[in-house]
Structure 1
Amino acid sequence: MDARIYKPRKSAMQSGRGKTHEWVLEFRSGAERSADPVMGWTSINDTTGQVRLHFETREQAIDYAKREKLTFTVDEPREPKRLVKSYSENFSAYRKQPWTH
C-alpha cells in the first residue's frame, strides 16, 4: 500500500499557523469510484483513502510506515519567506515608486 507523509500547510481561510505542526501519513488509494444506480451516490470499495494518521515528528511517521511495511514518499515542507515591512516605508524618501496622490 502506498502512503504519503507530509506536513500540512496553513489554511487559506486563516492567518494563523494552527494545525500545521504535526506530520500526517495519508494513504493513497487507487480504487475506482462508482455511482449507485438507485440513489446516484458515489461510492468506493477501498476506505483507506479516508484514513489520516497524525504524528508529532517526521521520524515517528517514517518509523510507523516502515514497521507496517508501507511504501511511502516524504514531502518536505517549504517554509514561506517572511517579508518584513513597516508602515513607515510607505512615506520613505527612498521609495522606489513615487506617490501618485
Structure 2
Amino acid sequence: MAAKTIMLVCSAGMSTSLLVSKMQKAAEADGQDAKIFATAAADADNKIASEHPDILMLGPQVRFMLDDFKKRVDIPVEVINMQDYGMMRGEKVLQHALDVIG
C-alpha cells in the first residue's frame, strides 16, 4: 500500500507542527505509512504542486478557505475538528484523514 500524504494548512504553519508530530506518532503506532506535514496558507499552492498530497486538512483558523480550495484542487479538503485541534488529538485527526482518503 502506498504511503498517504496528508497536508495540514494553518495561517502561519506553526500551530500545526505539534499536531503533525502527534499524527506521525499515531501513524507509526498504528503501522500506517503516512507522510504528514504542515504549511502556511500562503505557501499551500506551492506545496500541493510539489508534494501531491492525498488530502488537505485545514486548521480551524483557516476554515474560511474551504470553498476556495475545494474549487481549485482535485483532492479531498476537510476542516480539522476544532476540539481535536485544540486538544492536539493527533490520532483522531489522522483517523479522520485516512477515513476520507479511503
TM-score in terms of structure 2 length:
0.27
Q: Which has the larger radius of gyration?
A: 1
From the two aligned structures, give the one with the greater helix fraction: 2
